[in-house]
Amino acid sequence: MRLLPVVVTVLLTVSVAYYVYIPLPDSIQEQWKLMMLDAGFRTTMHLVRNILGSEPDGGVAPGVKVSDITFAGVPVRLYEPPAGGEGHLRRGLMFFHGGGWALGSGKKGSYDKINRMVSDELNAVVVSVEYQMYPEVHFPVPYLDCLTAAKHFLSAEVLSRYAIDPDRVAVSGDSAGGNLAAAVSQEIAMDDTLSVKFSIQALIYPVLQALDFNTPSYLQNEHIPILYRPLMIRFWLQYLGVDLSLVPHFTTNNHSSLQHTHITPELRARLDWTGSQGAVKEVPGLLDVRSSPLLAGPEVLAKCPRAYVLTCEHDVLRDDGMMYARRLQDAGVTVTNHHYEDGFHGCFSFITWPLDFDVGRRATRDYIDCSYDSNLSDICHIQGMI
């Protein structure tokens, strides 16, 4: 009987280890920490909501003034730097948080912390947009919320009110937020009624297309936490208002066609799309550049602002970001692509103990430094943009 507790302990230990352990590429650092994080994700979505929606850290950049207001009816959180705008103009940044168009809040967690840091270190007025999300709404509502807030932000009245330099206004976002940032950036760039445009788009492992879920990065990283291939496909179907029973149909790529006229020759040469046109006709959002900015034509991309694109090797969205960076470059846009060989999707958000990763801290530091430090001009082409 004395052995029973020992046997039970051993069995429990082995069971937990079996549940937690997943094979990871050698280039990923702090592997057991990532395994534990992933186990939490698989156990309960409550952990996800805690990470993306934990209470803000008021101890970070305490001099930054934070206000919850609305821009043209859209809820936003406004961050004003302690330096003020007296006698000089400040930078401006609009930020869209990630979370698969279904989770998270820019007011909380790492998003709030990073926006406070950006406001304080860059002397920037940061506006984090609380766009509507699934399940209450589907595409294009989140995009339209972001576009409405962006146009309001870029108005002469608002720029003057917050002493923002109209030549140094940026738009940024991570993951689904990167999708929204790219789409809004394109629309703003093409709108001749607007006198002020964004000077830079900073895209953090953005999701940019839903026509091909068999790109090399989707296949190579389909089992790499924290964004598994089936989960990203599910996020897309939720966003586009598609019946979730069609997940297997989309997983096998039977939803797109090389023959569709909206697919540009440049993009057709980079993607191996197969299947029928049936799903495309039933889900027109698949080919809408407002949902899939990667599909925009070269005439649109050529007008887009300079870009900072952060990609991670171990991320299903790696190729989305790299293809977009290449297409922007081909269109004549200046692009800086920071690629992290040891990076995984979501690492940008994990910068606070105990869920902090070295690659996350490096990515955050590079994101901030490469937005303003003129000494990095040889490395970061976006210096001085905001």
Contacts of 217 (CB under 8 A, 6+ apart): 315, 316, 317, 318, 319, 320
Residues 6 or more apart whose CB falls under 8 angstroms from that of 45 comprise none
* Cβ proximity of 201 and 171 under 8 Å: yes
Which residue among 110, 175, 185, 199 is the active-site one?
Answer: 175
**What 3-state DSSP class applies to 152?**
helix
175 catalytically annotated: yes
Residue 68 falls in the annotated catalytic set: no
- Say whether 128 sits in a helix, a strand or coil: strand
Judge residue 16's burial from the number of C-beta atoms within 10 Å of its C-beta, 0-12 exposed, 13-18 middle, 19 or more buried.
Answer: exposed
CA distances 35 to 133, 231, 272, Å, are 28, 17, 32
Residue 321's nearest CA partner among 288, 293, 352 is 293
Catalytic residue among 152, 314, 345, 381: 345
Count the Cβ atoms, other than its own, within 10 Å of residue 229. Answer: 19
- Phi-psi label, residue 51: left if phi above 0, alpha if psi -120 to 50, beta otherwise: alpha
Query: Per the residue annotation, which of 288, 315, 319, 342 is the catalytic one?
Result: 315
Please count the residues of the chain: 386
Query: Sign of torsion, CA 113 186 175 382?
Result: negative
Active site residue 319: no
Residue closest to 256 by CA, chosen among 220, 222, 281: 281
Do 181 and 206 form a contact (C-beta atoms < 8 A)?
Answer: yes
By annotation, the residues acting in catalysis are 175, 315, 345
